[in-house]
Amino acid sequence: MILTLCSCDDRQYEISVGVYETEEGMSSIRFYEDGTFTFFNLLSSRIITGTYEVLNNQLTLTKYDGTNYVFTVKSDRIVFLSTTAKYSYLEKGLTYYPEKIDYENMQAAVYYGFSSYALFTDNDVVVKELYDGYYNMKTELTQEELDFSSAFYVEVGDISFFMDKNGCIKLNDADYTVRDTADSISYERLKQIYNDSSLMMGED
């Protein structure tokens, strides 16, 4: 009698919206809710964009020119398999892990125009909303100038941005203006947060 032992894992895994990165931080992939991605590798200094799909624990990133990057999806990571790109700095087996963000120990500050008042908050929900809102932005350049007099300035964690009443945005210290086509965070929502005194640190 022959016994066959099978250790097959038939579970189906999904990826989470957000960032996956290598342990040394040299490469990262951000997945968006609309099925698109941005892929960055420090060695190439290029940002790749396109769409993604997960089928039978295989993740396929497809650039808009048709180039594919294929990964195996595990419960807690994704592992690079292959690419149709002519040149690539990626090695088979390169592993990406979900980014761990410590929202509980993060704070946010929201300023408005030339006002001397600013809202400082450590509210976990608001901090996460602002931080994730920044990283979920899908930006396109605009020739419009930022109206600093109506702009909110947000600092949270390691990022910052301006947004004016017309939806014009400056990210971090950029000298150019963009718009967020994903509407990941609105001017009206920033106004609500800024005017909600219950969010102020020390008001609990």
Average the pLDDT over 103-114 and give the result. 94
Determine the pLDDT at residue 102. 85
Cα–Cα distance list, 126 to 22, 41, 136 (Å): 28, 30, 15
Provide the domain limits for residue 153: 103-198
Q: What span, in angstroms and rounded, lies between the C-alpha atoms of 157 and 104? A: 11
Residue 11 lies in a domain: no
Determine the pLDDT at residue 187. 97
Residue 6 lies in a domain: no
In this structure, are 139 and 76 located in the same domain? no
Q: What is the DSSP letter of 126?
A: H
Q: How many CB atoms lie within 10 A of CB 13?
A: 16
In this structure, are 76 and 112 located in the same domain? no
The answer to whether the predicted template modeling score (pTM) of the entire model surpasses 0.75 is no
Question: Is the predicted pLDDT of residue 8 greater than 70, yes or no?
Answer: no
Question: Is the predicted pLDDT of residue 163 greater than 50, yes or no?
Answer: yes
Domain final residue pick, 70, 98, 126: 98
Residue 127 lies in a domain: yes
Determine the pLDDT at residue 204. 56
> How many separate domains does the chain show?
2
